[in-house]
A and B are shown apart, each in its own frame.
Chain A
C-alpha cells in the first residue's frame, strides 16, 4: 500500500475531489476504480515516503549506534520555533577527522571547502496557516519520538505521523494543553 501511494502523484483531499468532479462524467463505468485511485492519491498526502537527500545522512548511525542526543545537532529545539538543521560547520566538528575517506563525507567536505550550505530536503512541514513552536513541547517533556517516530532506527528519515489537525488535537486533549484555535492557527 505504501509503495502504491508512493508511486502516485500526491494531492490533497480537496484537490482529489475537484479532480474527481472533473474526470468522473466521461468515465462513468470506471468511476469506482477512479474513486479508489483518488482515495489512494489523497492518502498518499499523509503517508509520505522519505525524500531523497543530497547526502545520504544516516540517522540510525548517529542517533542510534553513536547515541548522540537529538538536541546536539538540532540545537534550536529547546528554545525556539524551528528545531534547526545543523550547519556544515557543525557536521565538520566531528567529520574533519571522523570517516574522512567515505565518499559521502567527501561530499560534505566539498560543501565545507566551497562555503556552500547543504540543501537538505525538508521531511516535516505543517501548513502555512499553522505556527508550530518546538520549545514549549520540549519544555512540557514531549519526547522527540512522539511525533517524529523512532528516528534512531531510520536510515532515511520519513514522516510517520499525519501531523494533521486532529493528530495534534488528540495529543493536546490528552495532555490538557491549549485547544484554542489561536494557539496554533495564525
Chain B
C-alpha cells in the first residue's frame, strides 16, 4: 500500500505544479437535501467480486474477454483493487472496492465540452450517454480511473443478450460510461414513493453492488441524513473513516472505513510515535 501512497503523493504534487488550485473544504459546495452516497467498510470486504458481477448484470456492461483485459480496456464500473501487505509467508491480501466516488467537486464534470456529465441536485454525478461525444477528457480528469470508454460496440453471445436490463441504455462505441449508483433503481423507488404519496424510506434504494454484497461491506445511503444507519456507522467509526485521495479536494460521496487488523505490523516510525505517547 505504501507504493500507492507514494504514487498518490507524486500525483498530488504534479497537480500543484500545474498551477491548479485545490479548493478548501469551505469552498467545496455541500448540497442541501438528499446526497446519495455509500459507506464501504473494508473490514467486511472479502474481495469476493459479487458486486462486480452484480453491476455487470444490472448495468448491461459489455463482457470483459481476456484480450480486453490485456489491452487494459476492460470495463468494470466497480472493481476490487487488491494489494499485498507484507512479504511471503506473512503476506496479507487487502481489498478496496473502487467505484465512481460521485464527487461533490468532480474534476470530470468541469472538463466536458458538451455537458454530457454533470452533477444533479441529489449528489449524483450523471452521465448522459446520448449527449456524450467521446472526447474522453472526463476519463483523463478522473483521479480514481472509474470512467470507461467504449472502444467497441458491445456484443453478447446467445443467450446472454436476453438478460439485458431494459432500464439501462446499451452504450455504443465512442462514448464514456460510468457507475450511476443504479440511477434507474433510484428513479423507480422515487416514482413508487411518489405514487404512494410518501417519502423514500431509509434503505429503500439499493444499487446492485450493495444489494449483492454478502457481508454488507457496501451500504448505500443518503449521507446528508444523519439518521440513516450507514451515516451513523460512519459517525461511530469516525476513527477509521476516510475518503479516497482526499487531498485532491474532490469531496467524494463514498466514505471508506479502514480495515481493523489487530495483528498489523507496526511500522518503525509509527512505533516511535506510539512510544512517545506512552
Where the two chains meet, the residues of A that have a C-beta atom closer than 8 Å to any C-beta of B are 79, 127-129, 131, 133, 135-136, 139, 180-183, 185-186
Contact = CB atoms under 8 A, between A and B. Distances in A.
Nearest to A185: B128
Size bin of chain B's contact surface: 20 to 34
B129 A135 contact: no
Given A136-B191, A186-B167, A186-B183, A129 B120 contact: no
Given A128-B170, A180-B120, 15 more contacts: A79-B195, A131-B187, A136-B191, A136-B194, A136-B195, A180-B126, A181-B120, A181-B128, A182-B187, A185-B128, A185-B129, A185-B169, A186-B167, A186-B169, A186-B183
B180 to A, nearest CB: 8
B61 interface: no
Contacts, number: 44
A139 B128 contact: no
Contacts of B202: none
Contact of A133 (B124, B129, B130, B191): B191
B163 interface: no
B194 A129 contact: no
Contacts of A128: 169-170
- The 10 A-B residue pairs with the shortest CB-CB distance in the complex, in nearest-first order: A129-B169, A182-B126, A129-B130, A181-B128, A180-B120, A182-B183, A185-B128, A135-B195, A133-B191, A186-B184
A132 to B, nearest CB: 11
Contacts of B130: 127, 129, 185
Interface in B182-220: 183-184, 187, 191, 194-195
